[in-house]
Amino acid sequence: MTVNSVVLKRTFELHKEEYEQAALRALNSGWYILGKEMETFEKQLAEHLGVKHCVALNSGTDALILAVRSLGIKEGDEVIVPANAYIASVIGITENGATPVFVDADEYMEIDVDKIEEKITEKTKAILPVHLYGQCSCMDKIKEIADKYGLYVIEDCAQCLGSKYDGKYAGTFGAIGCLSFYPTKPLGAFGDAGAIITNDDEVAERVRLLRNYGSKVKYHNEINGVNSRMDEVQAAMLQVGLKYLDEMTKERQKQARLYTYKITNKKVHIPAIHEKVDHVYHLFPVLVEDRENFQNYLKDNGVNTQVHYPIPPYVAECYKDWGYKWNDFPNAGKYANQEVSLPIYAGMPDEEIQYVIDVINAY
C-alpha cells in the first residue's frame, strides 16, 4: 500500500460538485476582484468565529506582514515569536523592519510561556504566538503577560483554524489573528489565500486599506499599501470549505485519536496536548530520535511523511547574520531534528491510517 502525507484531490472530491458550482458561479459573475464572493466569505468566517471583522487577503504570509504593519510596528521595534515558528511568521516581522526575539518551545511544541517575560525589553511591541500543528498556544498566560506590559498579541493561526483554548477560538484573543488558506490548511483554498480577523474596527479598516494600494476610493491613496486581495473564485470555493470545516476537523480528530491510542512503539513519542486545548490536527507530529532511519523505513513500506520543520527560522540561511546557533533554543533545535508529520487529512481512508499504525508498530 502507498500512503501519502496529504492527497488534496481526495479532500476536494468530498464536496466536488459544490466546489465546481461555486467556482462557476464566480466565473460567470464577470466580477473577479473585491466582489460579493469575498464579502460573503468575510462575513461568514467572522460569524463562524464570533469576531467583528474578517479581511480577506492573498496569503497567510501577507496576513502576518499586514497585521504587524497595521499596528504600526516598525524598524527598531521587537516582536516575541517562538523559536520553532514557520519562516512566514518571522517574515511577517522582518518585512516591517522589526526584530524577531525568539523564545524556545515547550513540551507542547508551542511557545514556552514561562520564558516570555525574560525577553521583554523597552523595544518590545508584540507577542506573536504561532499555534503550530493545529494546537492553540496557552493564551491565558500570553494575554496576561501582554496586558501586564501593554503589548499587542498577533496570533499566527495559519495551522489552527477551529482550534480553541478554554473554549475560545484561536485568533480571537489578541489584536489580530492571521489565517492561511494554503490548500493543505484546515480550510484550504485552491491556490493562495489568507485573511486577518479582529474585533478592532480601526485595525480592520487599516488592513482593508493596506490590501488595496492604501485606497478606499479608486486612485485616492491614503496610505502606502500593497496589492493583497483574495480573488472571487477562491472566496466562492472557501465558502464551501467553511460549510464543512467542522466536519473535516472532526474527521482529522478521529484519525489523530487512532494514532494516539494505537501507536504503541516506544521509539515514537507523541507530544503532549494541553488539557485546555481543542486540537484540530492540521498535522500529526511525532518525535523520533533516529528520524532518518524511521522515515526511510516508512518510505520503504510505502508510507510518505513530512518534517515540519527541518531548519528552525533562527538559523535559516537568510537570517545567518543574526549569528544564532542550532542549540541556542534546545527544544526548538530538538524538534527540528526529531519531528515527523504522519499522514492526516480529511478524506484519508481508515485502512490507510490503520496501515500506518501497523507499519509504525512493527518498526
Size of the site for ligand PLP (CB under 6 A): 14
| All cell numbers assigned to 38 | 469575498
Residue 88 interacting with ligand PLP (CB under 6 A): yes
Residue 59 interacting with ligand PLP (CB under 6 A): yes
Closest separation between CB of residue 130 and ligand PLP, Å?
5
The piece of 21-29, 154-162, 222-230, 239-247 that touches ligand PLP (CB under 6 A) is: 154-162
What separation in angstroms does the CA of 115 have from each of 120, 152, 260, 324, 353?
Answer: 10, 17, 29, 18, 37
The piece of 81-89, 116-124, 267-275, 310-318 that touches ligand PLP (CB under 6 A) is: 81-89
Residue 158 interacting with ligand PLP (CB under 6 A): yes
Give yes or no for a contact between 225 and 215, defined as CB atoms under 8 angstroms apart: yes
Residue 60 interacting with ligand PLP (CB under 6 A): yes
- Interface pick for ligand PLP out of 11, 89, 212, 255 (rule CB under 6 A): 89
**What does the alpha-carbon distance between residue 282 and residue 188 come to, in Å, rounded to a whole number?**
11
Residue 90 interacting with ligand PLP (CB under 6 A): no
- Interface pick for ligand PLP out of 108, 169, 173, 182 (rule CB under 6 A): 182
| All cell numbers assigned to 133 | 500543528
Residue 54 parent element (H or E): strand 53-57
**What does the alpha-carbon distance between residue 265 and residue 260 come to, in Å, rounded to a whole number?**
11
Task: Indicate the residue type of 111.
Answer: I
Closest separation between CB of residue 162 and ligand PLP, Å?
15
Residue 159 interacting with ligand PLP (CB under 6 A): yes
Residue 111 interacting with ligand PLP (CB under 6 A): no
Q: Select from 231, 166, 223, 168 the least CA-distant residue to 197.
A: 168
**What does the alpha-carbon distance between residue 173 and residue 43 come to, in Å, rounded to a whole number?**
19
Residues that bind ligand PLP (CB under 6 A): 59-61, 86, 88-89, 130, 156, 158-159, 180, 182, 192, 194
